[in-house]
A and B are shown apart, each in its own frame.
Chain A
């Protein structure tokens, strides 16, 4: 036990219990301890299996733009939450809290519970 830190155990616990959302792989590559805020424009919403993706164009303070690859729940899990393939479309403005890739590359995981339109309007209302 002593060889592995408490933080590691907590990370593993989160990764495994998160299986309902991230079914075919674990959370391991995403840094859930350091979430970050993103605001940008949807360039594509991929309602595909095994996991959905939001491609979000985020503008930097220097005027440059970066496309973030954001992986979400499976379509089957999202359908149960009221989502569909046309819930988002290119051009939608989003404000999201994501868990970034540990590597620092512009990718991460997104959650429907931490994603809203920039206007503040919720994306799906039940």
Chain B
């Protein structure tokens, strides 16, 4: 049996230790909060206020300053000008086989920056993330000073390295400059079928910055360097800040009513049968069904 005084001493030590632990943990929490506050304040002081949700104000053609189609005056090579005109003719007939999105493939870079659904920017010191609910696309722009890796697995959004720049040396970054490489296809620049070269050697350079007069307006100056074009093609896309975003899941595979079979795209009706999308569209080949039924 323990002596009462010993029990009392043990209790006192225990209580003291517990109290000390409480004090230490509250100090630790406060230190963490202070550090986070300092980090947040430092980030707010250094980086432009581009975090949050950005909405495309209007047109979805690649160069929003010009009408869609041939009036984009895309500097295509003769070979890819012919591809583009063929895509426009397919469009006029009701088809869009050139458009990977019809089968739920992501737009990829640089088309994701059209922002069919709002874009969400998340800025951290080492990485800036750009989320698009449209076709579940997610960009990581590394700003931690890393070099280009020797091997990069190609992807639709590619691998992006960015650099914050403070051109006017006022102690606050004014723009994020980004280069994106290692893309894979199929991709197009917009829904009209502006093509990208099949070699997928596209390099995209961007300059992302807030408008000087309107801090709720974001610009992305996008230069596409691609073998389908005779020269780098620069367009500027802009986005309005949405302070009260409404997020709704957009899962393309949930109920996509289009299916591409061979070179044709068909519409799947509610009863599960195919409908033609063009006049005089050929019936899909059924020879393998015919053989089995003989």
Interface hub of B88, B191, B271 (most chain A Cβ within 10 A): B191
Interface hub of B114, B249, B256, B270 (most chain A Cβ within 10 A): B270
Q: Is the CB of A69 within 8 A of B270?
A: yes
Chain A residues near B104: list those with CB within 8 A: 24, 50
Grouping DSSP codes into helix (H, G, I), strand (E, B) and loop, the A interface class, with mixed when no group exceeds half, is mixed
Q: Is the CB of B60 within 8 A of A107?
A: no
Q: Is B121 an interface residue (CB 8 A)?
A: no
Q: Is the CB of B96 within 8 A of A28?
A: yes
Chain B residues near A13: list those with CB within 8 A: 61, 67-69
> Bound state CA distance, A17 and B67, in angstroms?
9
Q: Is the CB of B252 within 8 A of A17?
A: no
Q: Which of B144-152, B158-166, B225-233, B276-284 contacts A (4 or more CB under 8 A)?
A: B276-284
Q: Mark A18-54, 1 if CB is under 8 A from B, else 0.
A: 1110011110111100000000000010101111010
Residues of A within 8 A of B (CB): 1, 3-4, 8-9, 11-13, 15-20, 23-26, 28-31, 44, 46, 48-51, 53, 55, 67, 69, 71, 74-76, 79-80, 101-107
Known: A17-B59, A18-B60, A102-B94. 5 other contacts (CB 8 A): A11-B91, A20-B116, A69-B257, A74-B117, A103-B278
Residues of B within 8 A of A (CB): 56, 58-61, 67-71, 85, 88-96, 99, 101-102, 104, 114, 116-117, 133-135, 190-192, 246-252, 254-258, 265, 267, 269-271, 275-279, 281
Sample of 23 A–B contacts (CB below 8 Å): A8-B69, A9-B70, A9-B71, A11-B91, A16-B61, A16-B69, A17-B60, A19-B191, A23-B117, A24-B101, A24-B104, A26-B91, A28-B94, A49-B251, A50-B252, A69-B269, A74-B250, A79-B248, A103-B94, A103-B281, A105-B269, A107-B267, A107-B275
